[in-house]
Chains A and B, each alone.
Chain A
Amino acid sequence: MFYLPNIVLVVVLALLGIGIYCILISRNLIKVVVGLQIAVKGAFLALVLAGKLASQIDVGQSIALTVIVADTIVAVVALALAVQIRRKFGTLDVHALMSLRR
C-alpha cells in the first residue's frame, strides 16, 4: 500500500486536481497562472515517475527538465501579459476580459 510509486501517483493526481480546480474557479488572472503552474508541477512529477517505472529515469528527468524550461517561459510571458492587461483594462477579472473576444 505504501509502495513509493503509489504515493507519488497520488501526489501527481492531487497536484493536477488542485491546479485544474484552481484554474476553473478563480477569476483572478494571477491565480489562474498559479493554478496552471501547480498543474504543470504535477505533470513533471508524472514524467519522472513514468521514467522510473520504465527503468529509464534519465529520460524522464531530461524531459522534465526540458518542460521546466518551457514552463518557466510560459509563466513569465503569462505574468507579463497579466501586468499589461491590468494596466490597460484596470482589472484582472477573467470574466471582465470577455471583451477581448472580438
Chain B
Amino acid sequence: MTAGILLLTILLPWAGALFVWLVGNDHPRLQHSLAVGFSVAGGVAGLVLLGFASRDELVVLSIGGAFGNFTFRPDGLGVFLAAIATVIGSLAVIFSVDYMHNEAQLGRYYSLVLFFIGSMSGLVLTGNLFLMFAFWEMTALCSYALISFYNDDPKAVAGGIKALIMTQVGGIGLLIGAILSYSYLGTVEVNVLLEKAGALPSNVLGIIAFGFLVAAAAKSAQFPFQTWLPDAMEAPTPVSALIHAATMVNAGVYLLARFYPAFAGVPGWREAVMVVGMLSALLAGLMALVATDLKRVLAYSTVSQLGYMVYAVGAGGVFASQFHLFSHAIFKALLFLGAGAVIHAAGTRDMREMGGLGKQMPFVRTVFVIGALALAGIPVLNGFWSKELVLEAGLQGGATWMFGVMLFTAGLTALYTFRCVWMVFYGEAHSHSHVHDAGPAMKTALAPLAAGTLLSWLLAGNFAHLLEKTLPYHEIHALTLVEILEEVILAPATWIALGVVGLGILFWVFRDALRLWQEVFAGIGQIARQSFGFEWLNQAIVRTTMQVAEDLRNLQTGVLNWNVLAIALTLLVVVVILSLGA
C-alpha cells in the first residue's frame, strides 16, 4: 500500500509528462487539463504519503549485483520534501494554465515540468546514493531545459548553460562521495553510510563531507556558486517559482540535513557549512537591495534565505533548517507566482517601470504583501517562526559574530523586501497602460499559497514529531507546537531580531532623511551590482578553460597514422604499467 503510494508520487508526474508529450501541441486545451490532472494527482499522492512515513525501506528494486538494490524509503525528511515538490509543483502547473496561455510548444514545457516534479520526488525518497545522483542530474537537466525554454533568446540559453555547468560541478562532488562510500563500505546505501561513518578513515570521511558540501552549495546556489540563480530567471515565471525557489534549490539543503549525523564530527565541516550559509545570506541580501529586476530581487532573496537554512544545518539545527525550508517554499512560491502575475500584466520585469500597480491589481497586491511580510520575518506569518528558530539554533550552536551577521542580514531582508513591495505596488505609477488583475487559474494557485503562508506554522509540532519518529540517525527532539512557540517567543534572539527587522523597515520608511548614508554606502551598492566580482571570476575561469582547450587541440594533428601511433604507444604504456604490478 505505502509502497504503491510512494511509487505513484514519482510515477504520476512522469506519466503526465509522457501523455502531455504524446498528445501533441495541436490540442493545447487537452495538454493543460492533462498536466493539471497528473500534477494534482501527484500532489495528492505526496500529501497522502505524509501519513505513511516510516523508517523502513519499502520499495526494493533488484537491479543485479553491481551497486546494490535501488531502494526507496519514505522517512520524515523524504516524504516532507516530496510533498513540497509535488504540491508546490501542482500549484505552479495550475498557475501555468493562465501564464502559458497561447504559448507554442506547451508539450515541451509541461513535459519538462512534470518530469522535473517526479525526479525531485525520487531524489528525496531514494535510499541509494547512485540513484540519488541520477535523480540529481535529472533535475539539473530539466532545470537547464526549462531555463532555456525560450531558446531563441540568447540570454535564456546562456542562463541555462550557466545553471547546468555550475550544478554539474556540484554533481561531481556528490559522485566522488558516492564512489568513496562504495569503495570503503561496499555499498551506496544512504543509511549504511550514516551508520558506519565513524568506521571510515577520517580523511576519506572528510573528502566525502566536503564533496557533499560542494554539491549542496552548487545546487542551492550558495557561495561561491550563487551567480547562476539570478540568471536562471530567464525561465518562464512558474518555472522560476517551482524549480528555482521552492524545490530544486532545496536539494542542496536537503543533502546537508540528510547527512548531518555522519559529517557533524568532521573537523571544520560544521564551521565551513556555517560560513558558506552566512556569506550567501549576506552577499545575496546586499545584491537584492540594489537589483531593479523584480525576478532577480526574488532570486537573490532565495539565495539569501537558503543561506539561512545552510547556516542552521551547520549550527546543528536540522529541524530549524527544514522548518525554514518548509516556510520558505510556501511564501517564496507565493512571491514568485505573484511576481509572475505582475509581469504577465505589466509586460516588464523592471521595477523602475512599475509603481502604483496595487490599485489595479488588488488581489495580487494582497497576497504579495502577505508573502513579503513572511519573508521579512514579521510575527505570526510562517517566515517569522522558522527564521527565529534558525537564529536561535545559530546562537546556540555557532560563533556569536556569525550570529551578528545573520541578524544584520535579517534587517537587510526587511529592507529589500519593503523596497520591492513599494516599487511595484505603491508610489507613483510609471506605466500608463491598463493593467488587469490575475486570471482565475492564477488566483486558484495563489490563494492556497497565501493561506499556507498565514497558517503553515501551525504544523510545526506535527512536523517535528514526524522527523523525530522516522529519522533513525538524527537526534531531533520533538516539541509540541506550544513548546516551540514558547521557545521562540521567550528567546532573546527573537527580540533582538525583531528590533533589527524593525530597523530595516525604518531605514526604508525614512530613506529620504538618510540620503547622506546612502552616499556612504553607494560604493557597496556599486560592488553589489557587479555581484561582488564573482561574475568576473566565472568568466575568467571560462576563458582560461577555453584557451587551454584550444591549445590542447594542437595535439590532434588530424593525420590518421599519427592517431594510431598514439593509441598503440598508450597501449604499450598501459601494458608496461600493468606488468610492473601497479
Contact = CB atoms under 8 A, between A and B. Distances in A.
B559 interface: yes
Contact of B561 (A94, A99, A100, A101): A94
A20 B564 contact: yes
B558 to A, nearest CB: 3
A23 B562 CA distance: 10
A23 B564 contact: yes
Given A25-B561, A94-B561, A20 B556 contact: no
Top 5 closest pairs, chain A to chain B, by CB:
A101-B558, A98-B558, A94-B560, A23-B564, A24-B561
Nearest to A23: B564
Interface of B: 556-561, 564-565, 568
27 contacts: A20-B568, A23-B560, A23-B561, A23-B564, A24-B561, A24-B564, A24-B565, A24-B568, A25-B561, A26-B561, A27-B561, A29-B560, A32-B560, A94-B559, A94-B560, A94-B561, A95-B559, A97-B558, A97-B560, A98-B557, A98-B558, A98-B559, A99-B558, A100-B558, A101-B556, A101-B557, A101-B558
Given A97-B558, A98-B558, 4 more contacts: A29-B560, A94-B560, A95-B559, A100-B558
A25 B560 CA distance: 10
A99 B559 CA distance: 10
A44 to B, nearest CB: 17
Nearest to A27: B561
Interface in A1-46: 20, 23-27, 29, 32
Contacts of A23: 560-561, 564
B382 to A, nearest CB: 58
Nearest to A36: B564
A83 B84 CA distance: 58
Contacts, number: 28
A23 B564 CA distance: 7
A97 B564 CA distance: 15
Contacts of B557: 98, 101
Contacts of B556: 101
A92 to B, nearest CB: 11
Contacts of B559: 94-95, 98
A101 B553 CA distance: 10
Interface in A63-96: 94-95
A20 B571 CA distance: 12
Nearest to B565: A24
B53 to A, nearest CB: 49
B327 to A, nearest CB: 54
Contacts of A20: 564, 568
Contacts of A99: 558
Contacts of B565: 24
A83 B559 CA distance: 19
A94 B559 CA distance: 7
A30 B323 CA distance: 68
Nearest to A101: B558
A89 to B, nearest CB: 13
B55 to A, nearest CB: 46
A94 B557 CA distance: 12
A26 B454 CA distance: 79
A21 B463 CA distance: 72
A27 B564 CA distance: 12
Nearest to A98: B558
Contacts of A100: 558
**Of B556, B561, B565, which is in contact with the most chain A CB atoms at under 10 Å from its CB?**
B561
Contacts of B564: 20, 23-24
B555 to A, nearest CB: 12
Contacts of A95: 559
A27 B561 CA distance: 8
Contacts of A25: 561
B123 to A, nearest CB: 37
Nearest to A24: B561
A99 to B, nearest CB: 8
A97 B557 CA distance: 11
**Of B556, B557, B558, B568, which is in contact with the most chain A CB atoms at under 10 Å from its CB?**
B558
A24 B565 CA distance: 7
Nearest to A35: B564
B443 to A, nearest CB: 56
Nearest to B558: A101
A32 B389 CA distance: 72
B124 to A, nearest CB: 42
Nearest to A20: B568
Nearest to A25: B561
Contacts of B568: 20, 24
Contacts of B560: 23, 29, 32, 94, 97
B546 to A, nearest CB: 16
